[in-house]
């Protein structure tokens, strides 16, 4: 366990009605203000602020909802997608999801209602134009899928950083501030060509540059589309909004930007913090996964031999095929040992299937997924990331992954969901670490080749 202790340092969080100022030691001073909020959601129910160990951008809006850096109930993560879907429905002239206000109240209070969650997930509609939804890796793959869930006669795909053998991406674009900048999209032939509207889903828009890069890349390959950006947070200032409007006018594009919360931030100062030496997990063991062959893997493989499920959306998913996921989740949840306080852990970009699996478990389930994002950890009151561990992502050529605050989660069983397991030995350090917290059930969602 690597926990950075800065007990002699200070954290200041000053709040007014619509403004919060975060001052973290001598490393960050940022002021955040809110202009508009869907369902009157307060900013403190959506995110916390943290420091990133990244010189390109030293701060991070840590989502309390998407089940990436923090463990959350699947109903909150899926409900966030439902609220964005409801916002899109309203903007498209359709009726909103009937439970949208109850979902907003659930997110604000943190009190989960499974009945509300399941009722809202049953609501589906069709948009007036042929629509493709694109979720952004790695943080918004599950969020994008949770939005897409509510629409028939549509398609979904998410960007990926995976290296795929024998396949060429439909397009590539850059996210300059990220620690892993290149996004690839492996859309099947005809998906993007036939779309009339493309909906781009991310957890946050900070400057709008990634959105500009993505639309530019798409318009170069697939001209003449309408674009809608959906995000939880939109922090663009007026000049940044103008930049997008100017591009839209120059290229004769229709671009709408929708968010659950819109505002601005003013960064007074930020500096990438220095961390002490941090070792990767080194535990050993001989645990083997329970393997599933219920859903056939697609033919494509990664450079390290990983298999992929069609359900993730990495290579495109239609609404009709998506409808099979609920049945899969119920069956998979019924095959494991029951638990009162389960924690489901997904790996990297595979976020939506762990969410549906956890919801099917019922009760007080929590979900969290591993991440490439290096966040500074400090065991200080008022700071969201208390501790962290690093490990090399199994079967992925030694890519560093992180898990945060696992020692703080109250659970009695952990379900580790892997889309694919090639080399069982490379997973043992992570499993050994998790077993210190609770008994681990390890599921590989594809069979071994």
Domain ranges (residues) in the chain: 78-90+114-262, 290-444
Contacts of 81 (CB under 8 A, 6+ apart): 142, 143, 144, 145, 146, 147, 149, 150
- Of 178 and 384, the one with more pLDDT: 384
Q: What stretch of H or E contains 142?
A: helix 141-148
284-331 confidence digits (pLDDT tens): 999 999 998 788 899 999 988 999 999 999 999 999 999 999 999 999
Query: How does the average pLDDT of the chain come out, rounded?
Result: 93
How would you class 397 by CB atoms within 10 Å of its CB: exposed for 0-12, middle for 13-18, buried for 19 or more? exposed
The answer to which of 112-121, 177-186, 268-277, 379-388 has the lowest mean pLDDT is: 177-186
User: pLDDT tens-digit profile of 357-367?
Assistant: 999 999 899 99
What pLDDT shows up at residue 294? 80
Q: What is the pLDDT of residues 218-258, one digit of tens each?
A: 999 999 999 999 999 999 999 999 999 999 999 999 999 99
Kindly tell me the burial class for residue 435, based on how many C-beta atoms sit within 10 Å of its own C-beta (0-12, 13-18, 19 or more). middle
Q: Are 30 and 268 within 8 A, CB to CB?
A: yes
Q: Is 47 left (phi over 0), alpha (psi -120 to 50) or beta?
A: beta
- Name which CATH class applies to 78-90+114-262: alpha beta
Instruction: Show the tokens assigned to 215.
Output: 């639309």
Specify the residue for token string 């492996």: 186
E strand map for 206-326: 226-234, 254-270, 290-291, 301-302, 317-318
Residues 6+ apart with CB under 8 A from 152: 124, 125, 126, 319
Do the Cβ atoms of 82 and 355 come closer than 8 Å? no
Residues 1 and 389 sit within 8 Å (Cβ to Cβ): yes
Backbone angles phi, psi at 76, to 5 degrees: -75, -45
Mind listing the pLDDT tens digit for each residue in 336-348?
Answer: 999 999 999 999 9
Report pLDDT digits (tens) over 167-222. 999 999 876 644 446 889 999 999 999 999 999 999 999 999 999 999 999 999 99
Query: Residue 22 — pLDDT band, cuts 50, 70, 90?
Result: very high
In this structure, the strands spanning 226-234 and 254-270 are parallel
C-alpha–C-alpha distance, residues 43 and 356, integer Å:
26
Strands 151-158 and 125-135: parallel
Structure confidence at residue 14 as a pLDDT band (50, 70, 90): confident
> What residue has token string 């008994």?
439
Could you list the beta-strand ranges (E) of 136-170. Answer: 151-158, 164-165
Per-residue pLDDT at 4: 39
The whole-number average pLDDT for the span 41-64 is 93
What is the distance between the alpha carbons of residues 440 and 327, in angstroms, rounded to a whole number? 24
Q: What is the pLDDT of residue 176?
A: 60
Distance between CA atoms of residues 34 and 265, nearest Å: 9
Query: pLDDT tens digit string along 115-159?
Result: 999 999 999 999 999 999 999 999 999 999 999 999 999 999 999
Distances (CA, A) of 124 to 56, 85, 102, 311, 320: 40, 10, 17, 18, 12
Q: What percent of the chain has pLDDT over 70?
A: 96
Interval 393-423: pLDDT, tens? 887 777 899 999 999 999 999 999 999 999 9
For residue 323, cis peptide bond before it (omega within 30 degrees of 0) = no
Using alpha carbons, select from 283, 257, 329 the residue that is nearest to residue 428: 283
Q: How far is CA 141 from CA 166, 383, 434, in A?
A: 23, 26, 24
Q: How far is CA 359 from CA 181, 363, 364, in A?
A: 32, 8, 9
Domain 290-444 has CATH 3.30.750: no
Cα 123 from Cα 151, distance rounded (Å):
9
Q: What's this model's pTM, rounded to 2 decimal places?
A: 0.95
Residues 144/201, Cβ–Cβ less than 8 Å:
yes
Structure-derived torsion over alpha carbons of residues 150, 151, 154, 155, reported in degrees to the nearest 10: 0
319, 151 in Cβ contact below 8 A?
Answer: yes
């Amino acid at each position: 366990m690597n926990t950075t202790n800065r007990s002699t340092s200070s954290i200041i969080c000053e709040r007014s009605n619509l403004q919060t100022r975060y001052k973290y030691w001598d490393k960050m001073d940022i002021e955040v203000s809110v202009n508009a909020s869907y369902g009157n959601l307060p900013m403190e129910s959506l995110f916390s602020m943290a420091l990133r160990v990244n010189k390109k951008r030293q701060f991070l809006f840590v989502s309390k909802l998407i089940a990436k850096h923090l463990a959350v109930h699947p109903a909150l993560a899926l409900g966030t997608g439902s609220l964005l879907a409801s916002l899109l429905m309203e903007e498209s002239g359709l009726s909103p999801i009937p439970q949208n206000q109850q979902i907003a109240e659930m997110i604000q209070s943190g009190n989960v209602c499974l009945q509300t969650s399941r009722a809202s997930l049953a609501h589906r509609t069709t948009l007036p134009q042929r629509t493709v939804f694109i979720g952004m890796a790695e943080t918004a793959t599950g969020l994008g899928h949770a939005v897409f869930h509510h629409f028939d006669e549509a398609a979904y795909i998410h960007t990926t950083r995976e290296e795929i053998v024998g396949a060429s991406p439909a397009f590539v674009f850059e996210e300059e501030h990220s620690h892993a900048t290149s996004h690839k999209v492996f859309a099947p032939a005809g998906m993007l060509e036939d779309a009339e509207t493309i909906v781009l889903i991310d957890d946050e828009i900070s400057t709008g540059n990634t959105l500009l890069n993505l639309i530019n890349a798409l318009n170069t390959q697939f001209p003449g589309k309408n674009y809608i950006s959906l995000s939880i947070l939109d922090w663009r200032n007026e000049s940044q909004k103008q930049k997008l409007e100017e591009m839209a006018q120059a290229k004769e594009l229709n671009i709408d930007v929708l968010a659950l919360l819109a505002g601005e931030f003013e960064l007074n100062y930020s500096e990438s913090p220095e961390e002490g030496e941090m070792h990767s997990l080194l535990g050993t063991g001989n645990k083997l996964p329970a393997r599933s062959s219920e859903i056939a893997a697609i033919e494509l493989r990664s450079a390290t031999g990983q298999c992929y499920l069609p359900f993730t959306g990495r290579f495109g998913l239609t609404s009709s095929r998506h409808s099979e996921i609920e049945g899969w989740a119920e069956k998979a949840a019924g095959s494991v040992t029951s638990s009162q306080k389960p924690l489901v852990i997904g790996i990297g970009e595979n976020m939506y299937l762990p969410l549906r699996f956890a919801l099917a478990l019922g009760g007080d389930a929590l979900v969290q997924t591993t991440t490439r994002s290096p966040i500074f950890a400090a065991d200080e009151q008022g700071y969201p990331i208390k501790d962290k561990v690093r490990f090399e992502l199994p079967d992925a050529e030694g890519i560093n992954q992180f898990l945060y605050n696992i020692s703080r989660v109250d659970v009695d069983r952990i379900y580790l969901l892997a889309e694919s397991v090639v080399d069982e030995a490379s997973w043992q350090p992570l499993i050994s670490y998790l077993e210190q917290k609770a008994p681990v059930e390890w599921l590989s969602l594809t069979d071994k080749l």
